Structures are given as structure tokens and as C-alpha cells.
Amino acid sequence: MLGSGILKGLAVTAKNFVGSYHNPARMVTQEYPDVQPQLPANYRNFPFLVTENATDPMGTMRCVACQICEKECPPQCIYIEKSKDKKPDANGKLQLYPAVFDIDTAVCMSCQLCVEVCPFDAIKMDHVFAIAATNRFSGLLLNREELAKPNTYFHEIRPDEAAEVDGRLAAERAAAEEKAKAAAAAKATAATATKPATGGAAAP
Amino acid sequence: MRAVHDEFHGDLLEVSMGPQHPSTHGVFRMVVTLDGEQIVKLKPVFGYLHRNHEKIAESTSYLSSMPYTDRLDYLCSMSNNWAYALAVEKLGGLTVPDRAQYLRVIMAELTRLVNHSCLVGFLFNDLGTSFTPLLYAFREREKILDLFESLSGSRMMCNYQRFGGCRVDPPPAWLAAASALVDNFPRFLDEYETMLTGNEIMLARTQGIGPMGAAQAINAGITGPCLRATGVDYDLRKVDAYGFYPRFNFRVPLGAHGDTYDRYMMRILEMRESVKILQQAFRELPAGPIMDPKAKLRGFRPKVGEAYGRLEGPKGELGFYLISDGSTNPWRYRVRPPSLINLTLLEELCLGRTIADAVVILGSIDIVLGEVDR
Amino acid sequence: MNLETLPLQLRNAIVDLFPPALQWFVHHLLTITVILTVFGLFFAFTTIAERKLLARLQNRLGPNRAGLPWFPKLKLWGITQPFADAIKAITKEDIVPAAADKVLHFLAPVLIVAFSLLGFAVLPFGRNLIPVELDAALLYFFAAGAATELAIFMAGWGSRNKYSLLAAMRALAQLISYELPLILSVVPVVMVCGTLSTKAIAAAQGGWTFGLLPHWHVFTPWGFAAFIIFLIATLAESNRSPFDLPEAESELIAGHLTEYSGFKYALFFMAEYFGLTALSGLGVTLFLGGWQAPCEFLQFIPSYLWFMIKLVGMIVFFIWVRGTLLRLRIDQLTRLSWKFLVPLALLNLGNGAFWALTPDWTGPLVLARWAISAAIVVVPFVLLGRRLTAGQAPRSYRYA
Amino acid sequence: MIVPASPDPAKPDLSTPPVAENSLASALPPFSPSAILPRLLARFPAATIELVPNPGPAAEHSLLLDAAHAREIATFLRDDDMLRLDYCSNATGIDWPEKEIVDTVKKSVPDPAGGPDKVVEEKTKRIQPGYLETVYHLYSMARKHGPVILRLRTENRNDRIFLPSLTPVWKSCDFQEREIFDLYGIVFLGHPDLRRLLMWDGFKDHPMRRDYVAPDDFEWEPTPHGSVLDRAKGHYPKTEGLNS
């Protein structure tokens, strides 16, 4: 009969009206500034640079300015200038570091490719999303000081991934130390065996 | 007896609907010539969102184009990813591990749910509801987007598929949540259908509106639910049998009239089939790696050659045509956009109908301007 | 202190403060002020109620942020939202298109508010509360109400916008189509009550069967049918969903409102709600017993409160309909009117006549009276409805 | 009608490999260009049709048609009962600019000293003329097979850029050919409504051509670093003013 479909529709909306008062599954609204969203660990928005500690962020940056991310970045929002000198990294190896590391967050599309291609676990995705600024350049173009965040922060936002990365880096470090020890031992044996030449300069 | 409008013959009215119009689904524009409220001419105008995606892709590496495919049809980033990965895998001869194949099916079908629920919501908005069906649909869509977010990190720009596999392996908790959501999805569909499918106004507004003939639709390259609404049995999941779709039990709903109502119902019925596919996928998901060990993330250089990979996207056949010259960048990168080609018949469908119908016909074709204009 | 007569006593007390020569003037000024204030506030809270109710129908929260100035912590569930909206509307820039007919563009919102307010003059808000006692109150009401469509046409024409023009055309087609069923649905009431005076019609619906079942017109077959037709026609007359074609958002941007902004836009909004409230008030008066209490023992509640409760009920129903239904197309809209509502209303006219002629049927004849009257309504409804929806039904589908 | 048995991964016969692998592994599909080619040549003796091999793993070879017979052949392919290629999925353009090809020919030169022959590489340079190409991917919805890939080539990239439109055969080419016209500049003869699709009407040049240089004179937003900044500075001498 004419009208039965309309009545059924009215019944459904009425049910939803009542349900909205007692069934939280129906209500999905989050009252945003009052209630901050619970971001999943995998949430990604804008990269940051991982530093080993918070006290000396520029000195302990993992980034070695290899510029792979700059090349792979689809919208080309990363800009890196290599340093002229070298600094020792966490493994004690001398590495370049980025003298300039800019990310234009107005261009960045948070695709995470920089993170995936980084062989040093130096760049990771952040959880910030409220980055409104009044100036496009001073506000949205982040330089390396603004990008650097300590490893503890990484642990805070993505505990699982950070632990895995730490484990891997620790293993690498251990392996490097092992190798260095072995090399030193070999060198020592070599030195004891044959006195002259080859020593000195090669030791890290 | 002479027709009335002969005696009151007046001027035609040309209205430019769009690019800013509530119902053109973005920055689409239709230049409509009206006789009273009747459409005597309709010319679609494209390009307001054109960014030459193909040119950008030809000047970057294969991998770098992947996040850009998210932005084609921004409701269905997972399907777009897969279509592109499919083409590149065909071009480079990569294989995909079983678990990744299942995950791809899961993601693609979840995307179908997202897209179709959005579509039916927006269709009702075009039909003049005050957002109620749209918001019910969005409520369900949000839940799926939450899943996407917790897995891939982003709600809509998932960037999830890689050549030779997927990027992240979902933990068991995610799978359980997704499975529960999928199991509850038919309840939403039932409620939705009770609310609107039998509604007299809905029937009057959609049945017999903008009917498409099967031969006409095939010749015009219409694909996806719009084609199947005309009764043509052509679903690439069955025809091309890409991915692991042959392992899944599902049916392809077919319409008979090809009108707006059939196009709407195709979406509803496909969502029900998608739910079945998803339930089966969650049951059978094997353990194992999710990436082809041969696949390289960086510096991927396929051999010289070309490949056309296509899949059944929610909107129709989404194809990627790639030509490799052996370098890291594709020589030719072409997207076959279902949204654009499904608009081929728009003028034919709208002629002689009113503005109100044109809006509904456009809504039922289901376009996303990110893909139309690329 | 009698609550029922309290408004009158208050009015008389104030009027008595003035010299007798001015008293008639103060009397009317007071009435107008009260109507403007009460229904102005009613309008304000209807907007927030509509937004809140729609939100709840859609599983949202609705506006809940507007609090009080200087007390940012106090949110008050957002009920001060309409005042914030009003301030916003007043302070917004008023844009008049260069090509517009300036006079019509300005006059349209002014006139539409004026016309939509006229109807309130003849509504009996309570047992003793009626602003103007007219013998031909119903005729006056419809005459005043029909003029609002003229203002809509002025807005559409004066804006010099194609969408506005289309909307204006639609508004006229809608007016012509629905004025008829609206008036025809009211005629049986006039026949049965034998009067055009709204006060007399409201009074005629007094009394209860067993003290519980009120003798409202809606509880008779002809009255029920007339009420439904009246409801549908009211929706159409006040341009509300599913008949909101003149401002069909998805088709005509905002229809005749496309070129209006700021306070003028707010005036249209206000007029729409005033019109809706007035028509609902008339519906309450004609079919829902006006100010009469639904049960005998509930008479202790003042009559004007009963009127307002019923009015609110009507408005809530309209909001509910808006939250559910989709829009008709213009040809379907006119077809619904001419091929369905008008014939039904005409038949119902006969039904009303039958009812008016048979008040003395008693005993088993009462049952026959009800059965005949119901048949006159239901049979044509089913038959006409079947013809109206011929060829339209949910379909079943095959699978490949 | 649905077989409820869920596929068992253990059974090898049920696990159909994905299409990418399928087309890799299997031999030529039944409706391969090499099967169609002789039929076409028999039917259209005047036409020159070539097989263009695809050396990649996809191995989807294509047919190069001459412009004069393209529409006839397309109509035949569409209407032929065996093929029934009623659906043109994809139509696209490709730009092949002029290319310098270095042919290396190895020659053995007898050693005047009487030793073994010396192998000398002789390099000859030649210019392969550029052309524009359109590619059509045809499928059959009736027979559910495909793709058959057609290619058409213009004579050069500058003035002889005319190709027959296949829109009269498949309406799905309508927008796609307009897009090719817009982005590559191929003029389709017989297209019912050949206008630019994506770029605006007054636009000059064709952005998808390989030698297209993007004009940075429109709404250029000075990005703060690198070569982009240098270019931006050329247009906006006062970039610093924007910074403050």
C-alpha cells in the first residue's frame, strides 16, 4: 500500500533517534578538541628525524645525509645538504650528517616512502596532525632542529616498532663491536707476528 | 491538438552546473541547456582537478607513483594500489605470496564496502534527503577507515600495496576487529534497505530513470556496477580471475533495466557479496610472508616491455598501462579511469529528463573527480 | 490565581495603566508584541531543536558548543546557538548581485516575514486567547498564507540568477498545486462545524467519551483523512522536505535563496518557520482539538500549554519527516497533488457531508456510520495509490 | 547453484595462480595477435599490418595497423563472430620522440701483420624519426577474452599527426581520444566532438609530449629550496618579501 515504505523509513529513523541515546555503537562522534583522538600506533603524519638522545639532538642524529629519501620522495619535499665534516655515529663510525635537512610539510603527503627506503632508521613518521601555522614558510617548512625528536619519543608513539628498531640497531652495534674486536685481535696477532707497516692509521 | 509548448515557445536557458555545485561530486561541470526544466543538451566539462598524474608518474620511479595512485579515486586507495601493483608485477614478472594475495582481496573488498556505502549515501543526498542515509553510511565507512588507519597509518591515502606484496602484516587483533566488523555489516545493510529501498518516493525517483541498454553500455565502455545493472555479466574478478578471486565463492548480481534503481541495487547486492568474500578470506587467511623476496623496494627496473593490468575496482575497470624502457621510471604510465569512461553516456541518459534527474543519474554513475581529471 | 486566565489578567492589568482613549491601542500592541516575542523565541528554539533532532536521527550530537559569553566552561548543551546564529547573520555582509532587481531583492524577505506572520492573528492559542476574532478566520488565514509564495517568486525573479528563477517557477507550480488540497482538506471541518471561525471550531471539539477519548476531528475517518491531506499539503506549502523543491539543495544550490546572505537569508529562514508554525497551529486547531486537553483529568493544565504542546508535536513530526524522506521531482509533486490528493480531498468532502448529515444515527447505526465513512476514505486511497505507483515496486535480481 | 565447498589450499587444482603469473607461464592465448594477423591480411589485402612484439614478461603483443584501413579493421574486429571485440577498454597515446640509434657492427679485419683477425666495432649513427602512437586495448565481453592490442602511428610528431578516430566503432574512445588529442596533439579524423578534455580551451602545446617544458608562469608557489627556488625567484624577484 502507498505509504508503507515511507512509514518503514520513519520507523528506522525513530529507532536510530532512540538508539543514539543509549547505544554508543551508533554514535561515532568524537568531540575533538575536548577529547583528543586515540591515534593507532601505525598512524603516520609527517616525518621526523630520530636522535639518540634528547640532550644533544644535533649531535646524535641517526641521519647520515645519504639523500636516498630526498631522491625517493614523490612530491620532492625533502631538501638535504651534506655536511663538510664527519661526526662519529652511535657505532663510533665517522659519518656525514645533514647540514641542512628541510621538510616542506605543506608539500609532504605523508606517504611514508622516506621511512621505508631509509637504511639507517633515521627518519620515522610522526603522530602530529595539528600543524596549522600563520606563515607558510616559517611555520610549515620544518628545518632539522624542528624535525629532530629523541628516540624516547619514538618509543612513546610506536613502542613496538621502536623496540624492534632498537633491537636491530643494538645487534648491528654488537656485530660492529664484535667485528672491531676481531679486527683488533687479528691486528694484534698480526702485529705480534709481523712487526712493521700497516698498523696505526686504519684503527678507528 | 497542438502541444502546449508550441504556443508558449520561449527561450532555452543555459545553466552551468558546477564546478561549484553541491551535487556534482567535486569540481565536475555540466553545461546544461534547459527547456523549462527539461534538458535538451548536456555537455560535461572536465579538467578542474587535472594535475597530469601520468606525467608526474613518468618522471618519478615506479615506487614513487604508488602514493599518487591513492589520490586517483581517493575513496578506494587500496584498489588503486592493487591495480598499479598488478600492472607493475605483470611488467616485472613478480609473484605475490599467498598471504599477501589474501590480504589484497580483504583490502579490495573492504574498499568496495567503503565505496559503495559512500555512493548509496551520496545518491540519497542527491535525491534530496537531509543527510540521514549518508551519515548512516558514513558511520559504517568510518569504522572501516579506522581499520585502514590502524593498519596502514592513513584513513584514505593508504599506500598499502607494494610490488610483490603488501607493506604491513596485520596483527591478529586487527583481523579479529575486521572480521567482527564485517560480520556486523549486513545488519547495517538491512537497516538501510528497510529505510529506503522500498520507499515510494525513492522508487518513483529512480525506477525508469536514465536506463542504459546493454549494447549501448558495452560500446561506450561502461564497466563495473553500471554495466552489470544492464544485465551484462562482466566482472573482472570472474573474467580475469586475478589475485586469488577464483578461490572465493561469490555471485555477481545482474540488473535487467539498467536504470538508476538497478545501479543502486547493484551496489547494495555487491556489498552483500563482498561481505561473503571477506568472511571467507578471514577464515582461510594463511600464514606466511607478505612480500615476494625477489621484489626490490628501491631501484626497481623492469625489463623493456609493456603491460596492461586491470582489475574490478568498485567503480569499474581500473587499468594501468605501463611501458618500460628499462630505466627506473616508466616510459609511459597510463591510468584507465573508470569514472571518466563511465561518464561517456551521461548526455544520452539525461536528454529529455529534468535537472533533478540529471543530478541523480550522475550520482548513480559514481564518479570521483580525482580519477576523472587525474 | 487562575493559570488559565493569567495572561488575560496580566494584559488587563497593563492596559489599565493607560488612559482609556489609548487602551484599545495598547491592547493590540501588547498582543502583537507577545506574539512576536513568543513565536520569535519559538522560532529561535525550533532552529536549534531541528538541528539537534536531525542530528540525533542521524546519530550525531548536533550543535553543542555555543555557551554564554564570558563563561566558556558553560556549554548549556548549545541552546544559545540561535542567538549566536542571529548575531552572525546580522554582522554578515549583505551582498546584492549587481544585476539584481534591487527593490524586489530587498522587498522579498521583508514581505515574506510579514505575510507569514499574518496567520497568527486568527489562531486560538487558548480557551480565551485569540488575537483577532474573525468570523471568516479560515478564509483570512489562507489568503494571508498564499501571499508568501508571491514573495518567494519575487526573491527568485529579483535575484537574476538562473537557479533562483527555476526555484521561483517551481514555487509557483507548487503553490497552485497544493493550495487546492490544503483548502479542500479543511472544508469538511467547516461543514461539520458549520462555521469558519477558528475559535468556534476549536470549541466544537470539546468533550470526551468515557473521559478519555477526546472528540477531536482527527479521530473520525473523514477527519483523519483530511488531517493527512492537510499534513502533506502543509509540508508542500511550507516548502519542507520532501517538498522542498524551491530550495532543492542538490539541484538548485539554494534555489531562491542562492543570492541572499546575512540577515536577509535569516529572514527567509524565519518566515519559513513562521509559516510552518502558523500552518501547524491551524492543523492543531482544526484537527487536534485546538487547546482542548486530551483527557478530562488533564484539564488542570492551562489550555494555551496544551496548544503549545500539540504545536511542538507537529513541528517535531515535520523534523522527523525531514530527517527521513527524499525529495519528489516537480512533475511527481504536481501529479501527487492533482491525481491523488485533490480527488481524495474531494471525496472526503462528500465524506464530511455524510458525517454532517448523520449526527443522529444511534445504536448499531453508529457503527455503520463509521464503516461507511471509513470506506469512503480507504477504498479510494488504495485504488488511487495503486494507480499512482503503478509499475514501481522493489525488484528481485538474478545472479550470474 | 553455489558450490559451498570452500577451496582447500591443499588441493593444487583449485589454486589458480594470479593472472600475472598466468600470462607469464602459459603460451600464447587463443586469440593472440599471431592468430588474428593472417585472418586480417586475408581479409584486407591492401592493408599493411605488422606484429609488434612485447619483449617483457607480460608478452602481450600488439598489431600495428596502417591509418588508412584502421577503422575498417576495427569494425571487422568488433563484428567478427569469432572475435567479437565489442569493448574497447583503454585508448591511449604514446610519444616516441626522435631517437639517435647507434648501430654497432662487428667486423673482423684481417691483421696486416698476419696474426689472427681483429674484431673491430663499427658504429653507425642513424636518426630514428619520432612519431606519436595510439594504443587500443580491446576485449570481448561477449566471448570474455582479450586483450587484443591495436597500435596506430602518425607519420611524424610535427605536422603529419592525423589518425582515424575509432570513436565511431567504440564510443568508449570518445573521451579517451579527446584526452589524447589534448595531451599529445594527435588529431583524430572523424571524431564527432574533438575538443580539449582536460586542459582549458586556450591552452597551447600538449603536456604529455616528452619535450614539453612546463611553463612556470602560473600561480607559482615559491617552494623554499633547490632549483625550484631559483626558478621561482626568476618570476618573483621579491621572494623574501613572501617569507617575512
Q: Which residue from B minimizes the CA distance to C385?
A: B200
CA atoms of C379 and C371, how far apart (whole Å) = 12
| Bigger pLDDT: D25 vs D95 | D95
* Sequence-distant contacts of B179-187: CB under 8 A, at least 24 apart: B179/B278, B179/B279, B179/B282, B181/B143, B181/B144, B181/B147, B182/B110, B182/B275, B182/B278, B182/B279, B182/B282, B183/B279, B185/B113, B185/B140, B185/B271, B185/B275, B186/B272, B186/B275
Distance between CA atoms of residues A202 and A181, nearest Å: 14
Out of B329-338, C22-31, D29-38, D59-68, the most confident range is B329-338
Strand partners, B13: B34
Q: What is the DSSP letter of A92?
A: S
Q: Which residue has the cell 623496540?
A: A163
In this structure, is residue A80 part of a structural domain? Answer: yes
CA geometry: angle at D54 spanning D50 and D58, to 5°?
Answer: 140
Which tens digits make up the pLDDT trace of D108-119? Answer: 777 777 777 777
Measured distance CA(D7)–CA(D15) in Å, rounded: 8
Query: Residue B13: helix, strand or coil by DSSP?
Result: strand
Contacting residues of A for C64, CB less than 8 Å apart? 31
The pTM assigned to this predicted structure is 0.86
Query: Does one domain contain both D234 and D174?
Result: no
Residue B232: C-alpha distances to residues C398, D69, D138 (Å): 11, 31, 17
Question: Would you state the cell numbers that stand for residue D58, as one nine-digit string?
Answer: 607480460
Pairing of strands A47-51, A148-150: parallel
Digit-coded pLDDT (tens) for C373-397? 888 888 888 888 888 888 888 888 8
D163 and D237 co-located in one domain: no
**D227 lies within 8 A of chain A by CB:** no
| Residue B321: band (very low, low, confident or very high) from pLDDT cuts 50, 70, 90 | very high
Distance (Å, whole) CA B224 – CA B154 = 26
pLDDT at D26 over 70: no
Q: Are B104 and B243 in contact (CB under 8 A)?
A: yes
Chain D residues closer than 8 Å to A138 by CB:
243
CB contact under 8 A, D225 and A102: yes
| Cis bond before residue D30 (omega within 30° of 0) | no
> How near does any CA of chain D get to the CA of A175, in Å?
39
**Which H helix or E strand runs over B48?**
none
pLDDT of residue B111: 92
Residue C118's nearest CA partner among C239, C235, C275, C238 is C275
Q: Which amino acid is at A70?
A: E
Q: What are phi and psi of B124, to 5 degrees?
A: -70, -30
Q: Examine the pLDDT at C155 and tell me if it is beyond 60.
A: yes
Q: Are residues D154 and D239 in the same domain?
A: no
**DSSP tally for chain D: helices H, then strands E:** 6, 9
pLDDT, average across residues D103-110: 77
B84 at interface of D, judged by CB pairs closer than 8 A = no
CA B135 vs CA C231, C319, C379, D158: distances in Å: 27, 16, 38, 53
- B39: which strand partners? B34
Judge contact between C326 and C242, C-beta under 8 A. yes
CATH number for the domain that contains residue B215: 1.10.645.10
| Contacts made by residues C210-219, CB under 8 angstroms, sequence distance 24+ | C211/C295, C211/C296, C211/C297, C212/C295, C212/C296, C214/C289, C214/C292, C214/C293, C214/C294, C214/C295, C215/C289, C216/C287, C216/C288, C216/C289, C216/C292, C217/C189, C217/C192, C217/C286, C217/C287, C217/C288, C217/C289, C218/C287, C218/C288, C218/C289
Is C385 in Cβ contact with A13 (below 8 Å)?
no
Nearest CA-CA distance, residue D18 and chain B, Å: 5
Angstrom CA distances, D169 to B224, B240, C246, D74, D178, stand at: 21, 24, 43, 7, 15
Instruction: Classify residue D104: in a domain, yes or no.
Output: no
**Cell 607558510, located at residue:** A136
* pLDDT band for position B320 (cuts 50, 70, 90): very high
Concatenating the DSSP letter of every residue in A98-159 gives EEEEEEETTT-----HHHHH-TTS-EEE--------S-HHHHHEE-HHHHEEEHHHHHHH-H
Given pLDDT bands bounded at 50, 70 and 90, which one contains residue D234? low
Contact A28 B297 (CB under 8 A): no
> C215 vs A164, B114, C129, C218, C293, CA distance in Å?
78, 52, 21, 8, 10
Instruction: Kindly report the number of other CB atoms within 10 A of residue C101's CB atom.
Output: 16
Establish if D242 touches chain A: CB-CB under 8 angstroms.
Answer: yes
- Report DSSP letters for C309-372, one per residue: HHHHHHHHHHHHHHHH--PPPHHHHHHIIIIIIHHHHHHHHHHHHHHHH-TT--THHHHHHHHH
Nearest to D56 among B52, B242, B307 (CB): B307
CB nearest to C385's CB, from A1, A9, A10? A1
Residue B231 lies in a domain: yes
C-alpha cell at A162: 621502536
Q: Which residue from B150, B151, B298 is facing A72, i.e. has the nearest CB?
A: B298
- Residues on chain A touching B132 (C-beta within 8 angstroms): 13
Mean pLDDT, rounded, for A136-143? 79
Q: What is the pLDDT of residue D223?
A: 58
Neighbours of C353 (CB within 10 A): 15
Cell of B220: 561506450
Burial C125-147 (b: 16+ CB within 10 A, else e): bbbebbbeebeebbebbbebbbb
Please tell me the predicted confidence (pLDDT) of residue A203: 40
Give the bridge partners for A47, in sequence order: A125
Decide if C307 contacts C291 (C-beta within 8 A): yes
3-class DSSP state for residue C81? helix
Specify if D4 maps to a domain. Answer: no
Interface check B221 vs D, CB under 8 A: yes
Looking up cell 565507512 gives B141
Instruction: Provide mean pLDDT across the span A190-202.
Output: 54
Residue written as grid cell 572465493: B248
Q: Quick one: pLDDT at residue D239?
A: 45
Confidence tier at D218 by pLDDT (50, 70, 90):
low
In this predicted structure, the answer to whether residue A20 has a pLDDT above a threshold of 70 is yes
Predicted confidence band at B162 (pLDDT cuts at 50, 70, 90)?
A: confident
CA distance D44 to D48: 9
Q: Select the residue of C60, C388, C389 nearest A29 (Cβ to Cβ).
A: C60
By residue range, what is the domain housing residue A74? 47-157
**Phi, psi (deg, nearest 5) at residue C177:** -70, -35
Task: Summarize pLDDT for A29-82 with one digit per residue, the tens.
Answer: 888 888 888 888 889 888 988 888 778 777 778 888 888 888 888 888 888 888
Residue B7 has a pLDDT of 57
User: Same domain for D49 and D78?
Assistant: yes
- Cα gap D197→D175, rounded to integer Å: 7
Res C221: pLDDT:
85
Is B266:B225 a contact under the CB 8 Å cutoff?
A: yes
C-alpha cell at B235: 566482472
| pLDDT grade for C120, boundaries at 50, 70 and 90 | confident
* Least confident residue range of B18-22, B267-271, D126-130: B18-22
In a domain, B2, yes or no: no
pLDDT above 90 covers what percent of chain C?
2
Name the least confident of A186-195, B332-341, D26-35. D26-35
Least confident of C27-41, C237-251, C335-349, D57-71: C237-251
Reported in sequence order, the residue ranges of D23-144 that DSSP labels E, i.e. its strands, are: 50-52, 62-65, 87-96, 99-109, 118-128, 131-140
In this prediction, residue A195 has a pLDDT band, given cuts at 50, 70 and 90, of low
In a domain, A144, yes or no: yes
Region of residue A32 (phi > 0: left; psi between -120 and 50: alpha; otherwise: beta): alpha
Contact: A5, B64; criterion CB under 8 Å: no
How many contacts does A have with B, using Cβ atoms within 8 A?
A: 81
Residue A117 has pLDDT above 60, yes or no: yes
pLDDT exceeds 60 at position A196: no
Domain membership of residue B363 as a residue range = 13-373
Torsion of CA C296, C302, C306, C312, to 10 degrees: -160
Residue D164 is assigned to a structural domain of this protein: yes
pLDDT surpasses 70 at D37: yes
Classify residue D111 by burial, with Cβ atoms within 10 Å: 0-12, 13-18, 19+. exposed
Name the average pLDDT for chain C: 85
When pLDDT is averaged across residues D76-101 and rounded to a whole number, the result is 86
Residue with cell 542504459: B212
pLDDT, residue A154, reads: 86
Structural domain total, chain D: 2
Residue C151's pLDDT band (boundaries 50, 70, 90)?
Answer: confident
Asked if B55 has any chain D CB less than 8 Å from its own CB, the reply is yes
- Provide the number of structural domains found in chain B: 1
Residue B153: pLDDT band with limits 50, 70, 90: confident
Query: Among the residues of B37-131, which ranges form H helices?
Result: 53-58, 62-70, 77-92, 98-126
**With contact defined as beta carbons under 8 Å apart, do B346 and B324 qualify?**
no
Span B17-27, average pLDDT: 79
Which three cell numbers mark A150? 629523541
Domain-embedded: residue A10: no
**pLDDT tens digits for range C321-380:** 888 888 888 888 888 888 888 999 998 888 888 888 888 877 788 888 888 888 888 888
In a domain, B213, yes or no: yes
The number of domains in chain A is 1
Rounded-to-integer distance, Cα B286 and Cα B276, Å: 18
3-class state of residue D107 by DSSP? strand
- Please classify residue A160 by burial: count the beta carbons closer than 10 Å to its beta carbon, then call 0-12 exposed, 13-18 middle and 19+ buried: exposed
Whether the pLDDT of residue D146 is over 80: the answer is no
Predicted confidence at residue B176, as pLDDT, reads: 92
Touching C (3+ Cβ pairs <8 A), the chains are: A, B
Residue A96 has pLDDT above 50, yes or no: yes
Q: What is the mean pLDDT of residues B90-114?
A: 89
Burial of B42 (0-12, 13-18, 19+ CB in 10 A): buried
Looking at residue B325, its amino acid is: D
Segments forming the whole domain that contains residue D218: 214-244
> Residue C51's closest chain B neighbor by CA?
B130
The span from the CA of B223 to the CA of B340, in Å, is 11
Answer whether residue A131 is part of any domain: yes
Chain C residue with minimum CA distance to A32: C65
Q: Hey, is the C-beta of A29 within 8 angstroms of any chain C C-beta?
A: yes
What are φ and ψ of residue B358, in 5° steps?
A: -60, -40
Query: What is the C-alpha to C-alpha distance for residues B345 and B316, in angstroms, rounded to an integer?
Result: 15
Assess whether D33 and D92 both reside in one domain.
yes
Instruction: Return d(Cα C58, Cα C322) in angstroms, integer.
Output: 11
Strands (E) located in chain D: 50-52, 62-65, 87-96, 99-109, 118-128, 131-140, 145-153, 162-164, 187-189
